[in-house]
Amino acid sequence: MRSFLGRFSNIFPHPIRLHHPTASDTHLEPPSKATGVPWLMPPPPFLRPPTFLPALSHSTKRGVSLRFLPLAITAFTTFFGSMSCKSGSSGRGAALSDGRGQGVAAASIHNAASYSQSDAGGSSSPIAPGRALCLNHSAGSDIGTIKRLIPALTHTARKGQMGRVGLLGGSADFTGAPFYAGMAGLKVGGDLCYIFTAEEASGPLKAYSPELMVTPVYSAKSLGVGFAGDLEGEEDGSSDAARSAEHKAKEKQVARMVQRVTPFFPKLHVLVVGPGLGRDPWIMEATRRILVEAKTHALPLVIDADGLWLVAHSPEILQDYPEGDDGGGVVVTPNLIEFARLQAGLTGASVAEATPPAVPFQHTDVIAVAKALGGKAGRVTVCLKGREDIVADRERWLVVTEEGARRRSGGLGDILAGTTGVLLHWSHLAMQEQAHGGAVKAERSERGSEGKGAQSGEESTCQIDPRDRVLWACAGASLIARRASRRAFEEHRRSMTAPDVLAHLGPVLEELSPTDIKEP
């Protein structure tokens, strides 16, 4: 494990830090005025205990802080007194300023120049030179573009218009992931969320929240599903005949699973595939068939987590995925390792053995994967999550520098996936609205608490190029998820978990697009 991490020492510089907090060595932000967390204030020097708690930096990956605690304790007892303290080496993202001294998101679309995640975190702007499509290059303009995607709430809208999201995910093992993704979709502002999952997961999911409409589509028990089952490995001493009968029975169940999910397609705006799905080969096969069906409906997709495991193994599945009337196509939201697996799958290398490279991915890598996944005509947009998120389709790209949280607890990617599903639909609505002209723009220009003055002017002049609307949808989702994570982190610090982020989605949306607007 040490050598594994050693390979990525530039990405994960100090997985363990013996940290004596000093005024100049603060890994945590000062407590916010709003929340005030007094125990985080550095104690007087004579009271400072050595601490083995890992610092929370932007470059930790999920799992590192927990797993290295015992090692940290050993290191502490062995080297206490001789080891120097080291402050977090990954600085704050150099986000552009909103003019009030606060970091705000910057997202610019580029089709030139070079940017990599290694550029992130320095003191200079991480936005590489390139051609921003919006004429105004300021951060306010970029945020203004994202705000344009958020539909106004009116008294005339009916249930479902703001988003009917389907989610294929969850399993006997993972009930949190589909919950976070589904609830994120609802808390962001989607109207309805349908979850297609294992019978064993549906009870817990319904109990977590009655807002989620949960349809059991297979039985993990009768399908003999485990997280990483292996068809070839089913050596249980049974006869060939018995195995063949069992195989047929499972085939039938896979077919039934497909039959249970696909009738929902006509009513869905988007299908999110993967959170908590598991990687059992039978489930992978059922999912593959479901994606084939989705393709015939041109149903917009967001693929994350175990859905990406399937895509990495069968990259041809997204080739020529149609844009459809709605123009959504497919969005994939890999983390670092999932992105490396996609690359491996596309080049015929071993997916299971893929590891991220020692040098951070470049935007050109992201474009290459988007292009290769989509094939000649398919529209695939990739959102590579990380220290900063790089979003790219087959030719254009952007970077979201919004500062996120320094906690990497499980479920934050699920929240992004659900949020992306809704934003994808909203970006479609925004294009329709844009096509219908200026009345709505005038209404929108009355909104805005953030960058108010600049925003109204920018919104009235800045049209979204329809070709870029999925990029902006992904950027919007990334911005919202990262901002909600940062707010949750400011409030809960080390105890921040995914539900805390869910609770901040609403306030972040309200800040971006206040609901107390006048009806036209």
- Residue 58 interacts with which of ligand ATP, ligand NPW, none, CB < 5 to 8 Å by class: ligand ATP
* Binding piece for ligand NPW, criterion CB under 6 A, among 173-181, 187-195, 419-427, 470-478: 173-181
Q: Select the residue interacting with ligand NPW from 276, 315, 418, 448 (CB under 6 A).
A: 276
Minimum CB separation from ligand NPW for residue 408, in Å? 8
Q: Which two tokens stand for residue 170?
A: 């969850």
* Closer to ligand ATP by Cβ: residue 336 or 470: 336
Minimum CB separation from ligand NPW for residue 206, in Å? 16
With H, G, I as helix, E, B as strand and everything else as coil, classify residue 224: coil
What is the C-alpha separation between 414 and 40, in angstroms, rounded?
29
User: How many CB atoms within 10 Å of residue 252?
Assistant: 10
Q: Does the annotation list 386 as a binding residue?
A: yes
- Residue 328 interacts with which of ligand NPW, ligand ATP, none, CB < 5 to 8 Å by class: none
What is the C-alpha separation between 56 and 27, in angstroms, rounded?
7
> Cα–Cα–Cα angle for 415, 421, 427, nearest 5°?
130
Minimum CB separation from ligand ATP for residue 412, in Å? 4
Q: Is residue 226 part of the contact set for ligand NPW (CB under 6 A)? A: no
User: How many CB atoms within 10 Å of residue 143?
Assistant: 27
* Closer to ligand ATP by Cβ: residue 394 or 408: 408
Binding site for ligand ATP (CB under 6 A): 58-59, 62, 305, 335, 385-387, 389, 404, 408, 410-414, 416, 478, 481-482
Minimum CB separation from ligand ATP for residue 482, in Å? 5
- Residue 176 interacts with which of ligand NPW, ligand ATP, none, CB < 5 to 8 Å by class: ligand NPW
Minimum CB separation from ligand ATP for residue 180, in Å? 7
* Closer to ligand ATP by Cβ: residue 205 or 223: 205
Phi, then psi, of 261 in degrees rounded to 5: -85, -45
Q: Answer whether 351's CB lies under 8 Å from 345's CB.
A: yes
What is the C-alpha separation between 163 and 186, in angstroms, rounded?
9
3-state secondary structure 22-37: ECCECCCCCCCCCCCC
* Closer to ligand ATP by Cβ: residue 20 or 494: 494
* Closer to ligand ATP by Cβ: residue 13 or 324: 13
Q: Is residue 305 part of the contact set for ligand NPW (CB under 6 A)? A: yes
* Binding piece for ligand NPW, criterion CB under 6 A, among 174-182, 214-222, 426-434, 473-481: 174-182
| Residues 49-88 within binding reach of ligand NPW (CB under 6 A) | 61-63
Q: Which two tokens stand for residue 213?
A: 């409409």
User: How many CB atoms within 10 Å of residue 72?
Assistant: 19
Q: Select the residue interacting with ligand NPW from 277, 384, 423, 479 (CB under 6 A).
A: 277
Q: Is residue 418 part of the contact set for ligand NPW (CB under 6 A)? A: no
- Which residue type occupies 88? G
* Closer to ligand NPW by Cβ: residue 64 or 75: 64
* Closer to ligand ATP by Cβ: residue 17 or 408: 408
Instruction: Report the candidate in 515, 433, 429 with the shortest Cα–Cα distance to residue 476.
Output: 429
Q: Answer whether 380's CB lies under 8 Å from 393's CB.
A: yes
Q: Is residue 185 part of the contact set for ligand NPW (CB under 6 A)? A: no
Q: Select the residue interacting with ligand NPW from 15, 166, 275, 418 (CB under 6 A).
A: 275
What is the C-alpha separation between 487 and 32, in angstroms, rounded?
10
- Residue 412 interacts with which of ligand NPW, ligand ATP, none, CB < 5 to 8 Å by class: ligand ATP
CA distances from 463 to 38, 148, 520 (A): 46, 9, 21
Q: Does the annotation list 388 as a binding residue?
A: yes
Instruction: Report the candidate in 195, 193, 191 with the shortest Cα–Cα distance to residue 161.
Output: 191
- Please give the full DSSP string across 226-262, using - where no structure is assigned: -TT--GGG---S--HHHHHHHHHHHHHHHHHHHHHHG
Q: Select the residue interacting with ligand NPW from 146, 272, 336, 415 (CB under 6 A).
A: 336
Instruction: Report the candidate in 138, 109, 146 with the shortest Cα–Cα distance to residue 479.
Output: 146
Q: Please state at what angle helix 336-347 crosses helix 363-374, rounded to 10 degrees.
A: 50
Q: Does the annotation list 17 as a binding residue?
A: no
Which residues have a Cβ under 8 Å from the Cβ of 175 and sit 6 or more positions away? 201, 204, 205, 208, 276
Residues in binding site: 276, 335-341, 385-389, 404-414
Where is the binding site for (6S)-NADPHX, in residues?
Answer: 276, 335-341, 414
Point out which residues bind ligand NPW (CB under 6 A): 4, 61-63, 174-177, 275-277, 305-306, 335-338, 356, 410-411, 413-414
